[in-house]
Amino acid sequence: METLKFIERENLVRKKDIIKEILLSLFLGISTFLCFRDMFQFTLCFSGSYLGGMRSGLVYTWNRIADVLGNEKYILLPKFAGAGEGNTLFLITALILFVILYFFFVHSKNSWAIFLIFLLTVILSGATNLQISMGTAMLFTVSVIAGILYARDRNGLCNKLCLFILTAILCAAVFSSPLGRKINAKSETIYKIQNVVKTKAKEKYYGSNPLKNGDLKQRKREKVEGDALEITMTTPQSIYLRGFVGESYQDNRWETLPNYNYYKEKDLFYWLRKEEFQTFGQLGQAEELFHEEKSERENQVTIQVKEADSRYAYIPYEMKGEISEGKAWGGSFITPSGLNRLKKYSYNTGNNAVKTWTDTASKVFLRADTEQAKDYLRKESNYNTYVYENFTYLSKKEKSILNRYIGKAGDQSRGHIDYKPAIAGIQKYLEDNFIYTENLGEKAEQSQSMLEEFLVSKKGYDVQFATAATLMFRYYGIPARYVEGYLITPKDAKKMESGKPEIIPKTNAHAWVEIYVDGTGFVPIEVSPPYRKIMEEADMEVGISNNTLLRPFDNEGGANNKAQETEMSGDDNKHITFPVIIIICGIIGLILLAIVIRLFWKYVICFKKFLNRRKLFNKAAPKQAVSAMYSYMEEQKYPIKEGVRALGNKAAYSQEELSDKERKEMLMALKSAAKEKKKNEKKNKRNAGRRACGRHAIVRLRGKKSGR
């Protein structure tokens, strides 16, 4: 009777443990699922076709992940046909698989596997800026800590970690409250320290840019010494090397366009690249296409970055092809993939097309009726639309400021005012009314924007001149971008020898404005007075002195549809980028898969051994079976009673045969011993925990008695 009660109690404990593991697995699986739902903006819809099938749901889910990563981080992943209208069924299946996976980990007490899933989720969210709601993050963190606690189950650890969880939840609640957010928002000191630390870390890793990549809050131009670049050319010539390109002006700094802009237009740029339209070197392409004099050989340029910022490739307006080491962002700039650095790269260029761009622009339109020109202009019309949509924007505040200082925006009935009066007017206005100084002094009014301060104080250096000019060109309806990079001056070019490297110092860093000339591409316009005497400029009396730059092909939109309908090709590897974050997550995923396979194999081996033992214990001759059971009990260190030991020795050493009844007795003894061992282990753990708590209590009492 006592044996039956003992077995019932053990079965009850076992059932409770299984229920705990199932509940904990549900907790972990649901919280992990909610994290991925938040990050990739999945929705569960149980109506009709939105349920989807397994295959169509898988494709829908993958395409959704590709869209979210593309919009948020401009990470380009292949998309596949066959997606359904929804993926609810697939998501529910994924949730069930999460729960089953966690049950394996919890049941096998594998805390490292639980932690790896947590780490994978945190890395994915942090590196891609994919947001997880505060509630979901707290739920996930608590569930992971609970899972690790259950898996490790060490003496005294439970109480400490429970206290830690409660403290973490309390802190999270305080900082997520309206009061906490206000305190955090007003803590400018912390914000400044964070920015300084981030900037220093990036400069240490990537190198520095004296002009600060569009940050307009600097009160003086940084005086720097050192080598920026090492450049080698087969045909030395003066060139503008674009690095950082500012496309959007806001909050006293230049930013690039939001990532979703580049992702939205990925098919357009893919099509333009396949059609061999040079978005980065359009000016050079137009110059070669419409000039009779062709260069005998291409100029090969090799850039070795020394102390310059290696987050951007330094490329001229005449570049041909692409940089295989980099990732193109629209037609604006090139960066390394992931956490790499663009330290060394090569490309080919044509002749200096900047000093003859006015003549090139004229020839493009004068020869617009030729077949060669029609094909080129068909492609250009697609890029032209993108440029006007993204690089002419001005806020109402900026328009109001410019209207107050430079007057009306002029006749823009044809899209923008003529290039010649716009360029000449802006250059003259800045040269006649402003002082070039590299020290701005203290700011008069803190509320003033950089543009307004520059127009009021009438002083600044190339960063301020280029910013004001960029906004002025946009005010006149002409697409314009702010650029920071390095100059290879005519003086530098004279010192260079073919095929031999030349050091370009950091003092050659410069900021300028580039404007888009219809049919010709972006061209640099020098507006900083000291630099107008340094770099070669195009003759403004040639080419654009008449009305030849009125677009004769505005209605040609045939290629537009083609570009919009062109889907991303899966075999174009250059169009698909796999950054470091994807590689890291893949490695962690492989580790998790290895853990799952190992656990599965472990269970398979254990199950196979169990079947062999069961066959031996139940099917073999009684004497052999009893002997095997006794050996197994000794191997597992089960508690063995005297009667069981005597029966085991009888089977091992006696010549007498045993009966089936004795086999059954040994089987019952084996099961009872296994349960008793588990019970003793749990009891020992509880006693150890109590002893630990008792020791802590005694120490505290002694401390009080001694006055400490």
Q: What does the pLDDT read at residue 705?
A: 47
Report yes or no on 456 lying in a domain.
Answer: no
Measured CA to CA, the distance from residue 11 to residue 19 in angstroms comes to: 12
Q: What does the pLDDT read at residue 337?
A: 82
- Tens digit of each residue's pLDDT (9 = 90 or more) over 322-336: 898 899 999 999 999
Q: What does the pLDDT read at residue 656?
A: 80
Answer yes or no: do 287 and 376 share one domain: yes
- Residue listed under structure tokens 């900082």: 175
Which of the residue ranges 156-170, 175-189, 402-416, 476-490 has the most confident prediction, judged by mean pLDDT? Answer: 476-490
Residues of 44-53 as b/e, b for ≥16 C-beta within 10 angstroms? eeeeeebbbb
Q: What does the pLDDT read at residue 295?
A: 58
Answer yes or no: do 249 and 383 share one domain: yes
Answer yes or no: do 108 and 173 share one domain: yes
Asked if 216 and 450 count as a contact pair (C-beta separation under 8 A), the reply is yes
Q: What are phi and psi of 87, to 5 degrees?
A: -140, 25
Answer yes or no: do 544 and 634 share one domain: no
Measured CA to CA, the distance from residue 681 to residue 683 in angstroms comes to: 5
Answer yes or no: do 381 and 239 share one domain: yes
Return the SS3 of 253.
strand
At which of 502, 528, 554 does a domain end?
A: 554
Q: Quote the domain boundaries for residue 139.
A: 17-184
Average pLDDT (575-598) is: 62
Answer yes or no: do 283 and 382 share one domain: yes
For residue 188, is pLDDT > 80? no
Q: What does the pLDDT read at residue 560?
A: 42
- Residue listed under structure tokens 């002893």: 691
176 sits in which H/E element: helix 157-176
User: What is the DSSP-derived secondary structure letter of residue 532?
Assistant: G
- Tens digit of each residue's pLDDT (9 = 90 or more) over 293-325: 665 668 999 999 999 999 999 999 999 988 988
Answer yes or no: do 109 and 257 share one domain: no
Report yes or no on 650 lying in a domain.
Answer: yes
Question: Of 25-34, 112-121, 434-443, 616-625, which range is least confident?
Answer: 616-625
Answer yes or no: do 40 and 133 share one domain: yes
Measured CA to CA, the distance from residue 68 to residue 53 in angstroms comes to: 22
Answer yes or no: do 179 and 233 share one domain: no
Average pLDDT (251-277) is: 93
Answer yes or no: do 137 and 250 share one domain: no
Report yes or no on 179 lying in a domain.
Answer: yes
Mean pLDDT score of the chain, rounded to an integer? Answer: 83
Q: 112: number of CA atoms within 13 Å, CB side?
A: 8
Measured CA to CA, the distance from residue 317 to residue 238 in angstroms comes to: 11
Residue 556 or 232, more confident: 232
Report yes or no on 253 lying in a domain.
Answer: yes
Answer yes or no: do 381 and 520 share one domain: yes
Report yes or no on 206 lying in a domain.
Answer: no
Measured CA to CA, the distance from residue 158 to residue 155 in angstroms comes to: 7
At which of 505, 524, 554 does a domain end?
A: 554
- Residue listed under structure tokens 């080129």: 376
Q: What does the pLDDT read at residue 84?
A: 84
Q: What total number of domains does the chain contain?
A: 3
Measured CA to CA, the distance from residue 376 to residue 213 in angstroms comes to: 33
At which of 128, 161, 184 does a domain end?
A: 184
Report yes or no on 463 lying in a domain.
Answer: no
What the block records as the tokens of 19 is 């229920």
Report yes or no on 329 lying in a domain.
Answer: yes
Report yes or no on 27 lying in a domain.
Answer: yes
Answer yes or no: do 147 and 241 share one domain: no
